[in-house]
């Protein structure tokens, strides 16, 4: 059997697509969650989405642990995640050594909890009992929705700055040092106490920011720099891209996801405090405990231990090297296809992310068409973004995945050419809210601080009646989880153009 007729496990691939518009019901087990997961696993031939193990954990890890027998709780000898001193503390110590941080903290709720804990810790460092009161946070317009939730919990008001926006691709790019500096100077001129500055690097599309320059800017004012590096867990000292990492550049806190590109199970992550961090480790631990279950999954924790075993081994070093080589080969082969364009940025681009457009015709609908063309053939990309399709590689990616995908993109380009001649190919209109990220999202128009809007009485109204009202919810279509609506924001016509929801939650009159 060839790769075209087998799935990721080298078993016969299902011929029926798992994608269906029919709603699952208990009366129809064909569309239950369990059957849907099983059907997808049988149909998928190549994964270019999270998680990073790409469904190949057996070949990545030596020891089996995914069983009910390993689904344990905090028993004697298994340590306590809220205050680890044993085997879980060992995971954190090893991660500290591997990434070169001063302190590392396990998260079993991904980078979201890690990011939330860092923001809460930064806010607590400038409480009245600490001698100063901070009410503000410098936030990028492309912040993840978890950061907005964290601001509500920390009772901080966002001061927005805009990253670079790539008009051609229709997506947010790296942090704009000029925009950030201007926002900082404006805040300081207004005598506003700033608790933290947040940067997203790499972005969901793969743009890496000049963190070293930004660190120099924030450190001069004693403002902790928190970097949402969820998509950069592979930026290890052993890798050729470590110089791009926020840890190497001296940020104060760095949130990693371990399932984006690394082979740990979904929902694993870590928060690192690099050397010289302005955040207090005890405060970070306390904040992380506030947003973590008291019953952490030992399947997740075991997968983190297995990931460390892999990364510390010669096999892991080889996988990391081949991962970078695979990404470079994917880019090179894709760029050689006519009509294909590869996204890149002026500073640097995350090697795990390949965002490309292909085919002639209306750009944003072609992204949707390419995504569906691949999907129908068992190749699942991460998402459509602006005019492109995002492919995410991980340590579980293989040369066979890339070969199959490159050949399928060539088939798509040929199909587009036939379509221009009126043969064999039908353009499908983008479904749902596919155009949401094909245009620049409007700037926020805050009326109330987010935490205040969240604590006030709410009501749910039709979206058609929401113009001019104050939002009481965070609305951030995922992926990529960038808000188009946040609590306390005035709902404008620009916002409503991007909203697909039929009802919205607003502050009650």
* pLDDT reading at 503 higher than 90: yes
DSSP state of 69: G
Residue 489 has a pLDDT of: 94
Q: Is 28 exposed, middle or buried (0-12, 13-18, 19+ CB in 10 A)?
A: exposed
How sure is the predictor about 1, in pLDDT bands with cuts at 50, 70 and 90?
Answer: very low
Query: Rounded distance, CA 114 to CA 197, Å?
Result: 15
Contact 268, 107 (CB under 8 A): yes
Average pLDDT along the chain: 88
Residue 46: name the closest of 480, 411, 377 by CA: 377
pLDDT at 259 over 50: yes
| Structural contact between residues 496 and 452, judged by C-beta atoms closer than 8 angstroms | no
pLDDT value of residue 435: 42
- As assigned by CATH, the class of the 45-58+320-420 domain is alpha beta
Q: How far apart are CA 196 and CA 211, in angstroms?
A: 15
For residue range 382-411, list pLDDT tens digits in order.
Answer: 999 989 999 999 999 999 999 999 999 999
pLDDT of residue 12: 64
Cα-Cα end-to-end distance for the chain: 65
pLDDT digits (tens, 9 = 90+) for 214-233: 999 999 999 999 999 999 99
Distance CA 198, CA 192 (A): 16
pLDDT of residue 371: 95
pLDDT score of 122: 96
Q: What is the pLDDT of residue 422?
A: 61
Rounded average pLDDT over 442-467: 92
Residue that is written with structure tokens 């966002």 in the block: 158
Determine contact, residues 433/500, Cβ cutoff 8 Å.
yes
Task: Choose the weakest-confidence range: 124-128, 270-274, 464-468, 482-486.
Answer: 124-128
Q: Which of 149, 202, 133 is nearest to 171 (CA)?
A: 202
Per-residue pLDDT for 436 more than 50?
no
pLDDT classification of 5: cutoffs 50, 70, 90? low
| Same fold yes or no, 115-262+266-299 and 450-507 | no
pLDDT at res. 329: 97
Which of the residue ranges 56-60, 179-183, 340-344 would you say has the lowest mean pLDDT?
A: 56-60
Listed in sequence order, the DSSP H helices in 399-455 are 399-420, 450-455
Could you write out the DSSP letters of every residue in 202-267?
Answer: S-TT-EEP-HHHHHHHHHTTTPPEEEE-GGGTT--TTSTTGGGSHHHHT-SEEEEESSSSSSSPTT
**What pLDDT does 67 receive?**
80
Token pair 């009159």 is at which residue?
509
What average pLDDT does this structure show over 126-134?
60
User: 182-210, pLDDT tens digit by residue?
Assistant: 999 999 999 889 999 999 999 999 999 99
Comparing 145 with 16, which gets the higher pLDDT? 145
Strand, coil or helix: 491: coil
Tell me which residue of 234, 248, 272 sits closest to 118, measured CA to CA. Answer: 272
CB 209 within 8 A of CB 201: yes
DSSP-derived letter for residue 490 is B
Query: For 412-426, what is each residue's pLDDT tens digit?
Result: 999 888 877 665 554
Report the pLDDT averaged over residues 252-256.
98
| Rounded Cα–Cα distance for residues 159 and 190 (Å) | 12
Output the CATH code of domain 450-507.
3.90.100.10
**In this predicted model, what pLDDT tens digit does every residue of 341-383 receive, in sequence order?**
999 988 899 999 999 999 765 555 789 999 999 999 999 999 9
* C-beta of residue 175 within 8 angstroms of C-beta of residue 214: yes
Query: Is 279 in a helix, a strand, or coil?
Result: coil
Token pair, residue 234, equals 């592979």
Ordered by start, the domain boundaries in the chain are 45-58+320-420, 115-262+266-299, 450-507
**CATH of the structural domain 115-262+266-299, one choice from 3.40.640.10, 3.10.20.90, 3.40.50.300, 3.30.530.20:** 3.40.640.10
For 88-112, give one letter per residue: b (16+ CB within 10 A) or e: beebbebbbebbbbebbbbbbbbbb
H or E element at residue 503: strand 503-507
- Confidence tier at 126 by pLDDT (50, 70, 90): confident
For the residues 129-147, what does the mean pLDDT come to? 83
pLDDT digits (tens, 9 = 90+) for 62-110: 765 678 888 898 999 999 999 999 999 999 999 999 999 999 999 999 9
How much is the average pLDDT of 271-298?
A: 96
pLDDT at 23 over 70: no
Q: What is the DSSP letter of 90?
A: H
Output the CA torsion 135→137→141→145 (10° steps). Answer: -80
Mean pLDDT of 254-281: 96
Work out the average pLDDT over 273-282.
96
Q: In whole angstroms, give the CA distance from residue 3 to residue 477.
A: 34
Note whether 402 and 329 are within 8 A (CB). Answer: yes
The pTM for the full model equals 0.91
- Which backbone phi and psi does 151 adopt, to 5 degrees? -60, -40
Q: Token pair of 481, please?
A: 């989880």
């Amino acid at each position: 059997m060839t790769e075209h007729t087998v799935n990721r496990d080298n078993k016969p691939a299902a011929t029926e697509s798992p994608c269906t518009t029919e709603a699952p019901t208990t009366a129809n087990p064909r569309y239950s969650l369990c059957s849907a997961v099983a059907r997808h696993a049988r149909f998928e031939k190549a994964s270019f989405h999270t998680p990073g193990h790409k469904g190949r954990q057996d070949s990545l890890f030596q020891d089996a642990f995914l069983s009910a027998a390993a689904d344990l709780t905090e028993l004697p000898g298994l340590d306590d995640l809220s205050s680890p001193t044993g085997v879980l503390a060992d995971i954190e110590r090893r991660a500290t050594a591997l990434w070169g941080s001063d302190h590392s903290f396990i998260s079993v709720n991904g980078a979201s909890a890690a990011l939330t804990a860092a923001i809460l810790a930064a806010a607590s460092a400038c409480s009245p009992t600490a001698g100063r009161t901070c009410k503000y946070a410098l936030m990028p317009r492309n912040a993840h929705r978890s950061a907005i939730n964290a601001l509500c919990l920390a009772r901080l008001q966002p001061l927005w700055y805009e990253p670079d926006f790539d008009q051609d691709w229709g997506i947010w790019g790296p942090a704009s040092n000029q925009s950030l500096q201007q926002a900082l100077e404006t805040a300081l001129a207004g005598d506003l106490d700033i608790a933290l500055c947040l940067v997203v690097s790499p972005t969901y599309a793969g743009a890496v920011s000049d963190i070293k320059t930004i660190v120099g800017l924030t450190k001069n004012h004693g403002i902790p720099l928190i970097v949402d590096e969820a998509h950069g867990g592979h930026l290890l000292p052993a890798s050729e891209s470590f110089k791009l990492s926020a840890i190497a550049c001296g940020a104060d806190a760095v949130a990693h996801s371990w399932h984006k590109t690394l082979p740990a199970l979904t929902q694993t992550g870590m928060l690192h405090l690099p050397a010289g961090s302005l955040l207090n480790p005890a405060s970070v631990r306390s904040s992380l405990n506030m947003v973590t279950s008291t019953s952490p999954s030992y399947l997740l924790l075991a997968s983190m231990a297995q990931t460390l075993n892999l990364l510390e081994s010669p096999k892991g070093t080889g996988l990391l090297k081949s991962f970078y080589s695979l990404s470079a080969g994917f880019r090179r082969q894709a760029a050689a296809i006519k009509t294909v364009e590869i996204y890149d940025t002026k500073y640097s681009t995350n090697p795990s992310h390949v965002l490309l457009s292909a085919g002639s015709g209306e750009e944003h609908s072609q992204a949707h068409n390419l995504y569906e063309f691949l999907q129908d053939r068992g190749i699942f990309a991460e998402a459509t973004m602006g005019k492109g399709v995002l492919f995410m590689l991980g340590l579980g990616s293989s040369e066979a995945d890339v070969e199959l995908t490159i050949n399928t993109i060539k088939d798509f380009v040929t199909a587009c050419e036939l379509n221009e001649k009126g043969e064999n190919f039908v353009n499908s209109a983008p479904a749902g809210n596919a155009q949401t990220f094909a245009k620049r999202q409007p700037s926020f128009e805050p009326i109330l601080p987010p935490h205040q809007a969240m604590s006030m009485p709410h009501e749910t109204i039709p979206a058609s009646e929401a113009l001019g009202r104050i939002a009481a919810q965070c609305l951030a279509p995922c992926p990529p989880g960038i808000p188009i609506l946040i609590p306390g924001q005035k709902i404008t016509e620009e916002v409503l153009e991007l909203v697909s929801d039929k009802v919205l939650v607003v502050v009650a009159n």
